[in-house]
Amino acid sequence: MTRVAIVTGASGGIGREVAERLAKDGMTVLVHYSGNKVAADEIVEGIVKAGGTASTFQADVADETQISALFDEVERLYGGVDVVVNTAGIMPLAPLVDLKLEDLDRVHRTNIRGTFVVSQQAARRVREGGAIINFSTSVTKIAVPGYTAYAASKGAVDGMTLILAKEMRGRNVTVNAVAPGPTATPLYFTGKPQSVIDAATKAAPLERLGQPEDVAEVVSFLAGPARWINGQVIYTNGGVVA
């Protein structure tokens, strides 16, 4: 039976690479997007051209009705779901003292509530032998100034991931989080001076930024063969932090 994966936030950056990697692994992929329909359609077109199966679905990850409809659609089209990857997230940057509270609320809604809503549906619907993979960040340990709201939201993701793994007892479903470090995506580069990018490049012992495919490789492992890794936050950062 072909495994079926949902990837939220799949229209760009790491999410796109994850969707394409899981399709290469032989999975049928539901490409979720929030606003960028053109990019989502391009991803599906590429997967189909390569011989895979994929479709798109637009939804607000924090809206439980829309996310329930997304899972309904996956079950209607493909019969069920085996892997759910939560890459959707936002990252407004500012020192705590300057951050607008409306931006904090937006981060909370997308990164915490969104992950919770998707995980709730996943916990109810993922088939036996499946995997739920949330997205955290290495910034919770690196503690880079300006990332307070983002790191706080991902700390919440860590907590819900570890607890959900235990709540899935008896279902043979793993629950883990991937915590990338500096990764060369449009989200990472936006608003950063070159000096900050250069410093991040030198921080890892491998002396480069992570690439989206580096992160997708870890997701592929957790989504497939890694059945004995459960209830973990996997720091995927080239050695910046352990």
**Enzyme catalytic residues:** 150
For the chain, the first-to-last Cα distance in angstroms comes to 37
117 touches 123 (CB < 8 A)? no
Tokens 């924090």: give the residue.
62
Neighbours of 65 (CB within 10 A): 10
Q: Which 3 state secondary structure label does DSSP give 190?
A: coil
Nearest to 184 by CA among 201, 209, 214: 209
- Token readout for 49 is 């051209």
Pairwise CA distance, residues 78 & 127, whole Å: 12
Between helix 114-125 and helix 148-167 the angle, nearest 10°, is 20
> What's the Cα-to-Cα distance from 159 to each of 70, 133, 225, 226, 233, rounded to whole Å?
25, 13, 24, 21, 10
Q: How many CA atoms lie within 13 A of 102 on its CB side?
A: 0
Nearest to 59 by CA among 7, 24, 102, 95: 7
Neighbours of 128 (CB within 10 A): 9
Which amino acid is present at 125? R
